[in-house]
C-alpha cells in the first residue's frame, strides 16, 4: 500500500544549530516531528528506506517504501520545501546511492557529496547565485567578471507561463527546427534538445515537461526554487570535426580551481577524465582511463585562459563548478554549477559511476581538504 499523506498546517519551531548523528541539524529533526499529532506522524529517516515495513500512523503509512512507488512520488511532491523535509526527501536518494545518510560537512568523514548535499537542501541562496543559475541571466553575470569570455548566442527565450501545451511549444520553436541550434530549460538541468533533430511535438516532450516544473522539487536543489520556467534557444558553439566542443568543468574552492573534468564527445562515444590544475596531469593515475584516439588537451594558452576565467567566476563562492567550453574560436562560458549531480555524482574512472571508487576518494579529499583550510 502506498503512502497516505496529509500535510499539517502547524509551523516548525525556531531553528537551533545543533548537529545530530545522522547529519541533520537538530532543528531539522524537530521540524519533521512538529507536524500536528494524528495528521502526519513522521518516522525516522531510516524507516523510509526501500524494503522497510511497518511504520504506521493515521497520517503517513509506510507499507511500500519503494522510491518508484506512486505514494513516495506524491509525498515527495507534497512535502514542504523546508530544509528539514528537503533533508528527508533528498536524503533517501543519497542513502540509496551511498548506503548511508548524509554527514554534516564539518564531520571528518564527510565527502564532497555530503558538502553538496548540505548546500542544495538549504533554502538560503543569494541573488547572485540565482542569477548564475538562470541560463539567460548567467551570461551577463559571467561577462561582468570575465569579459574576455565568449558566450553562446541567445536566439530566443520562451516563457513557459505562456505555453499551453507541447504542441504550442513546438509552434514557437518551429522557426529553429532543422537548424544548428539547441534548446534547453533555462532553469533546470537536462533535456537539451538539438533543433536539427526536431520534426514533431513529440521530440520536445521531455524539454516541455522539464521546463514546466519547479526544478527544485526534483531533488530539492533549492537554488532553483521559484525561478520562472523558460526555454532558451542558443546557437551551437563552433567546434572542429563536427563534434560538440569539449566541456571543461573546473571544481573551485574560494576562487581557486583545483581539478578540471574534461568531457569529450558528450553525445557520442562519451569520455571523461579528471585532471589536476594547473599542470593538467591526470588527477589519479590509477583511474584506468585511456585517452581516446586523436584527442588532445587544449593548447597551453587556451588552458591558461580557462584557468583565469574559472578564477574570476568562482571568486565570490566557497565551492562551485565552473563549466567552460573549448570552442573552435575561443573559450565559451557554459554555466556555474553549485550542486553537481545533486550530491550523487561519482568521479569518472574505469570502475563506472555506480559506486565510490579510489578515484572518487582522491577527488573528494582534494576538495574537502581545501574547504577545511579555507
Residue, of 92 and 30, whose pLDDT is higher: 92
| Residue 261 vs residue 35, higher pLDDT | 261
On whether the CB atoms of residues 93 and 221 are closer than 8 A, the answer is no
Length of the chain equals: 374
CA distance linking residue 83 with residue 60, whole number of Å: 20
- Cell, residue 38: 494524528
Cβ atoms of 29 and 84 within 8 Å: the answer is yes
Q: Which fold has domain 241-373?
A: D-amino Acid Aminotransferase; Chain A, domain 1 (3.30.470)
Q: Three cell numbers at 338?
A: 553549485
Is residue 42 scored above 70 in pLDDT? Answer: no
CA 367/CA 34 separation, integer angstroms: 36
C-alpha cell of 42? 513522521
For residue 345, what is the DSSP state? -
Please state, rounded to an integer, the average pLDDT across all residues of the chain.
86
Fold of 153-236: Dna Ligase; domain 1 (3.30.1490)
End-to-end CA distance of the chain: 49
- pLDDT above 90 (res 294): no
Compute CA distances 129 → 11, 120, 227, 352, whole Å: 28, 12, 12, 31
What band does 25 get if pLDDT is binned at 50, 70 and 90?
low
| β 154-159/230-235 pair status | antiparallel
Instruction: Round to whole Å and give the CA distance between 260 and 250.
Output: 4
Predicted confidence (pLDDT) per residue in 160-198, tens digit: 999 999 999 999 999 999 999 999 999 999 999 999 999
- Percentage of the chain modeled with pLDDT above 90: 74
Calculate the alpha carbon distances from 154 to 38, 95, 107 in Å.
52, 39, 43
The answer to whether 115 touches 104, Cβ cutoff 8 Å, is no
Place of cell 585562459: 305
What is the domain partition of the chain in residue ranges? 26-102, 153-236, 241-373
Average pLDDT of span 62-86: 78
CA-based nearest residue to 84, from 225, 220, 227, 226: 220
CB-CB contact of 116 with 343 (8 Å)? yes
Going by C-beta distance under 8 Å and a sequence separation of 6 or more, which residues neighbour residue 127? none
For 246-282, write each residue's pLDDT tens digit: 999 999 999 999 999 999 988 778 899 999 999 999 9
Sheet strands side by side (includes 193-194): 154-159, 230-235, 181-185, 193-194
**Residue 269: closest CA among 237, 232, 244:** 244
Residues 6+ away with beta carbon under 8 Å from 171: none
Cα separations in angstroms, 208 against 132, 164, 218, 229, 267: 22, 10, 15, 10, 20
Q: pTM for the full model?
A: 0.84
Residues 196-242 pLDDT 10s? 999 999 999 999 999 999 999 999 999 999 999 999 999 999 998 77
User: CB count, 10 Å around CB of 70?
Assistant: 11
Q: pLDDT class for 27, splitting at 50, 70, 90?
A: low
Ordered DSSP codes for 138-178: HHHHHHHH-TT-B-PPEEEEEEGGG--SHHHHHHHHGGGTT
Cβ-count burial 225-239 (b if 16+ within 10 Å, e if not): bebebbbbbbebbeb
Amino acid at each position: 500500500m502506498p503512502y497516505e499523506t496529509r500535510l499539517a498546517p502547524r509551523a516548525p519551531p525556531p531553528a537551533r544549530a545543533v548537529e545530530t548523528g545522522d547529519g541533520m541539524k537538530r532543528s531539522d529533526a524537530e521540524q519533521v516531528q512538529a507536524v500536528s499529532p494524528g495528521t502526519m506522524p513522521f518516522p525516522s529517516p531510516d524507516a523510509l528506506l526501500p524494503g522497510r515495513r511497518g511504520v504506521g500512523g493515521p497520517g503517513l503509512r509506510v507499507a511500500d517504501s519503494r522510491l518508484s512507488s506512486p505514494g513516495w512520488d506524491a509525498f515527495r511532491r507534497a512535502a514542504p520545501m523546508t530544509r528539514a523535509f528537503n533533508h528527508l526527501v533528498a536524503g533517501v536518494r543519497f542513502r540509496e546511492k551511498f548506503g548511508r545518510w548524509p554527514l554534516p560537512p564539518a564531520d571528518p568523514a564527510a565527502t564532497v557529496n555530503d558538502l553538496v548535499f548540505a548546500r542544495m537542501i538549504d533554502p538560503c541562496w543569494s541573488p547572485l547565485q540565482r542569477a548564475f543559475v538562470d541560463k539567460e541571466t548567467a551570461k551577463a553575470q559571467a561577462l561582468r567578471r570575465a569579459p574576455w569570455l565568449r558566450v553562446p548566442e541567445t536566439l530566443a527565450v520562451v516563457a513557459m507561463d505562456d505555453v499551453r501545451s507541447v504542441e504550442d511549444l513546438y509552434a514557437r520553436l518551429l522557426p529553429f527546427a532543422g537548424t544548428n541550434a539547441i534548446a534547453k530549460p533555462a532553469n533546470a538541468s537536462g533535456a537539451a534538445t538539438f533543433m536539427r533533430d526536431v520534426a514533431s511535438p513529440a521530440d520536445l516532450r521531455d524539454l516541455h515537461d522539464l521546463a514546466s516544473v519547479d526544478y527544485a522539487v526534483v531533488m530539492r536543489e533549492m537554488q532553483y526554487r521559484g525561478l520562472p520556467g523558460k526555454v532558451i534557444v542558443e546557437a551551437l558553439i563552433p567546434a572542429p570535426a563536427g563534434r560538440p566542443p569539449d566541456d571543461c568543468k573546473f571544481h573551485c574552492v574560494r576562487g581557486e580551481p583545483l581539478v578540471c573534468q574534461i568531457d569529450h564527445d558528450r553525445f557520442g562515444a562519451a569520455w571523461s577524465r579528471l585532471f589536476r590544475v594547473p599542470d593538467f596531469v591526470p588527477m589519479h593515475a590509477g583511474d584506468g582511463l585511456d585517452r581516446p584516439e586523436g584527442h588532445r588537451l587544449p593548447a597551453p594558452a587556451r588552458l591558461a585562459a580557462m584557468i583565469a576565467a574559472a578564477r574570476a567566476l568562482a571568486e565570490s563562492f566557497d565551492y562551485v563548478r565552473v563549466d567552460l567550453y573549448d570552442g573552435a574560436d575561443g573559450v565559451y562560458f557554459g554555466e556555474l554549477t553549485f550542486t553537481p549531480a545533486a550530491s550523487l555524482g561519482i568521479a569518472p574512472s574505469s570502475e563506472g559511476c555506480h559506486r565510490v571508487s579510489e578515484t572518487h576518494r582522491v577527488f573528494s579529499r582534494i576538495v574537502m581538504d581545501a574547504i577545511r583550510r579555507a
